[in-house]
Structure 1
Amino acid sequence: MTAWNDSDLRKIGAAEELDLESERTDGTLRAPVTMWVVRAGDHLYVRSVKGVGGPWYRGTRSRNQGRVAAGGVRADVVFHEAGPGEYAAVDAAYREKYGRYTSIVEHVLTDRARAATLRLEPR
């Protein structure tokens, strides 16, 4: 597992939104999808509100890699499924960062969304 450098971790973690492009089986990138991103410790996470059935989430599962752009950083990444042991920290990060969007943030705090939590790691 490769770790983020401090600068990229800080910039991406502070960005309001992240653009995610997942890689198809032929190696080409899908169109970018804009979403929320959070930092919990030294890791970055995204979640699918629609759970594992969400279109962009399913796209990440074909090669488990792609590209993200946020906070002035563009990086090739590997998508790792987060485990239940990570959910509480990710929930807290979403509440802290996006809590001002009360009616929206609750959608990323459901069991369905938790099951579709991806940890982003640089490659």
Structure 2
Amino acid sequence: MTDWNSSDLEKIATAEELDLASERSNGTLRDPVTMWVVRSGDRLYVRSVKGTGGPWYEGAQARHQGRIEAGGVRRDVTFQEADREEYRGVDAAYREKYGRCTTIVEHVLTERARAATLRLEPR
């Protein structure tokens, strides 16, 4: 696993949204999907509101690789399923960053969304 450099970590974490393009089995990138991104500790996370059956999540599982862009940073990444122990910190990060969107933020705090939590690791 490669760690994020502090500059990229901060820029991505403070960006309002992130564009995620997962890699197909032939190595080409799918069209990017715009979503929320949060930081917990020195790690970055995204979640699928539709759970593991969400189209972009299923695409990310094809090769567990893709590209993200946020805060002026573009990086190739690996998608790692988060451990259940990470959910509490990720939940808190979503509440802190997006809590002003009270009717929307609750959708990323459901058990279905938690089960589709991915940690973004630079490659």
Could you tell me how far apart the structure 1 residues matched to 2:55 and 2:42 are? 27
Structure 2: 5+ residue runs without aligned partners?
Answer: none
- TM-score (normalised: structure 1): 1.00
Instruction: Report how far residue 99 of structure 1 moved.
Output: 0.1
Give 1:56 deviation, angstroms.
Answer: 0.1
Q: Give the distance between the partners of 1:11 and 1:39, measured in 2 at CA.
A: 11
Q: Could you tell me how far apart the structure 2 residues matched to 1:114 and 1:8 are?
A: 25
Taking the aligned partners of 2:88 and 2:62, their CA distance within structure 1 comes to: 27
Gaps of 5+ in 1: none
- Following superposition, the deviation at residue 6 of structure 1 comes to 0.2
Cα deviation, residue 110, structure 1: 0.2
The residue type equivalent to 1:17 in the other structure is E
Cα distance in 1, alignment partners of residues 39 and 119 from structure 2? 10
| Residues 99-118 of structure 1 mapped to structure 2, 5 A cutoff | 99-118=99-118
CA distance in 1, matches of 2:39, 2:66: 19
TM-score by length of 2: 1.00
Q: CA deviation at 1:104?
A: 0.1
Aligned residues: 123
Runs of 4+ in 1 over 6 A off after TM superposition: none
Identity %: 76
